[in-house]
Amino acid sequence: MKKIALIVLGTLLCTLVLEANKIPGYVPPEAKKKVKKPEIYHALWEKMYGGKDDDIAYGIVALEEGESAMVGTCKSFNAQNTDICVTRLNAQGEMKWRLLLGGAKKDEGKAISRAADGTLMILGTTKSLAKKYDSDLYVAKVSLEGKLIWEKGIGGDRDEFAGGIAGTDDGGVLVVGDSESFGNHYKDIYIVKLSKEGEVHSSRTIGGEKEDSAKALTRTKDGNMVMVGHREVESSGNKDFFVMKLNQNGQKIWAKTYGGKYADTLSGVTASIDGGIVATGKTRSFGSDQTDLSVMKFDMQGELVWHKIYGFKYYEYGNAVTSTLDGGFMIAGGTNTLGNGGHSVYMLALDKNGKLIWSHVYGDREKDRAHSIARMSDGTIIVAGESDSYSRSTNFYMIKIKKK
């Protein structure tokens, strides 16, 4: 594979505090300007995995000794239709094993986490395990040796959509996503608690008159969970940022909605060392000309600490975020303003106060996307996603990054 171009970006730093009514004391973003940032991080390697058909990585989790495990969707490798694909990698990015999950119908992998005993917990959507012709949530437990321990389809008569998954102290998992089967509205947030054997302990939906969606889930320093996504609040007329703290049984501790005049959504979340969380997504509000990447810091009580926006001429967004060893944050997102192709991976490093300290674009002549990010045990960071820049089909695309 030819060397992939690495481009140092000029960046936009816009500091937003709180918008009137939605976020009190709002300060409009600064004028866009390009600032050259130092080479704080560099790529140790970039890897592609895939076959003759499309294969996409959607989730990644850190294992011991710098290793990692990914989940995605595969059409290659003798998949029956579209299968859920789980892959374990060593610290050099070399595959140790691959496991295909699902059945004869369409199955897609979305997120991956670890159970209390260290095994892998997989979340996706399944038609193979659904009772009718709809899509249900798919949850599975997989050993570190690549053996399926159990799998389960969860849903009703209509479609369910996967969001995020996190292990609980009792060995089970909490799962969030969306449901069209349950609740009284078009699409509601769906929260399910499962035991370590895969039995459903509890499930419920939350939502209003319009669309409510959960996109990601993380554990916080105090052992609780935070879910992020969006809500369509009638007073705003569009999607707003939604953040909700839950206990390990999926019961609400607090919930917050933030937003402006246009569409604002969150797609990724990680815990901060002070007990709060940092979430990333995209916004059309707060002075954005098009769609810009949004990063928000919340404290333990759900109060907004800071809000940063990064954007250029066209379309930028954040898909995933992880913490760094020094207490800062790394964002994995995308841009179609910068880079060599139609769409590139956009990476940003922030310090603990949200100050931009580094940014890069990765990719080549076609479309390259980052869907997930994780910090390894050795402090390096791996990004997982997809690329069709180097083959006729779409392949897993991974980048391992290290601080200089």
Whole-number percent of the chain with pLDDT over 70 = 89
Residue 1 forms part of a structural domain: no
Residue 213 forms part of a structural domain: yes
Write down the pLDDT at residue 380.
Answer: 95
Among 87-101, 107-121, 390-404, which stretch is predicted with the lowest mean pLDDT?
390-404
Residue 385 forms part of a structural domain: yes
- The radius of gyration computed from the CA coordinates of the chain, to the nearest angstrom, equals 20
Q: Is the pLDDT of residue 6 over 80?
A: no
Domain that holds residue 338: 6-403
Write down the pLDDT at residue 185.
Answer: 65
Q: Is the pLDDT of residue 230 over 50?
A: yes
Residue 218 forms part of a structural domain: yes
- In the structure, what pLDDT confidence band is assigned to residue 13 with cuts at 50, 70 and 90? very low
Write down the pLDDT at residue 313.
Answer: 84
| CATH number of the domain within which 102 lies | 2.130.10.10
Model confidence over 162-172: pLDDT tens digits? Answer: 999 999 999 99
- This prediction has a pTM of 0.89
Q: What is the mean pLDDT of residues 256-280?
A: 94
Write down the pLDDT at residue 236.
Answer: 55
Model confidence over 182-215: pLDDT tens digits? Answer: 977 689 999 999 999 999 999 999 987 789 999 9
Model confidence over 307-363: pLDDT tens digits? Answer: 999 988 888 999 999 999 999 999 999 999 887 778 899 999 999 999 999 999 998
Number of structural domains in the chain: 1
Write down the pLDDT at residue 9.
Answer: 33
- In the structure, what pLDDT confidence band is assigned to residue 116 with cuts at 50, 70 and 90? very high
Q: Is the pLDDT of residue 34 over 60?
A: no
Write down the pLDDT at residue 33.
Answer: 41
- In the structure, what pLDDT confidence band is assigned to residue 36 with cuts at 50, 70 and 90? low
